[in-house]
Structure 1
């Protein structure tokens, strides 16, 4: 499901956040976007409920990075000088 619907949500999430720090503009487009965070959270819950061995740290880091990035994206467009 991850490969098909949200390939940016694959993996632990920590490498995605590190890559996002190196290229913030590209990161907002996918690596730490809010949609990726929603998929990551949903897929993590499903995986845990089905008995998969899933760590908490990676998804938490990626989701936690997506929230302020999403807020920044909302305010950057509104508050940008014209």
Structure 2
């Protein structure tokens, strides 16, 4: 069974602009791939969402990208 990839944009500057649907999506997923996990941690803490984060950015995209794809494919 393959999983799903959700793309959730984050507000620029004001966390109050984070949509209820975006919050619901993050509460539903198994993990979150974030470019900057420090920023992601602030967002998750603000909305009391406890999900593991995976750092994914330019310099680790090959290693982490493959890992993320495998997790999604595994469901």
- Bigger RCO of structures 1 and 2 (CA < 8 A, at least 6 apart): 2
Structure with a larger share of its residues in helix: 1
TMscore range, shorter length: 0.3 to 0.5
- Higher Cα Rg: structure 1 or 2? 1
What TM-score do you get using the length of structure 1 for normalisation? 0.34
Say which structure is richer in strand.
Answer: 2
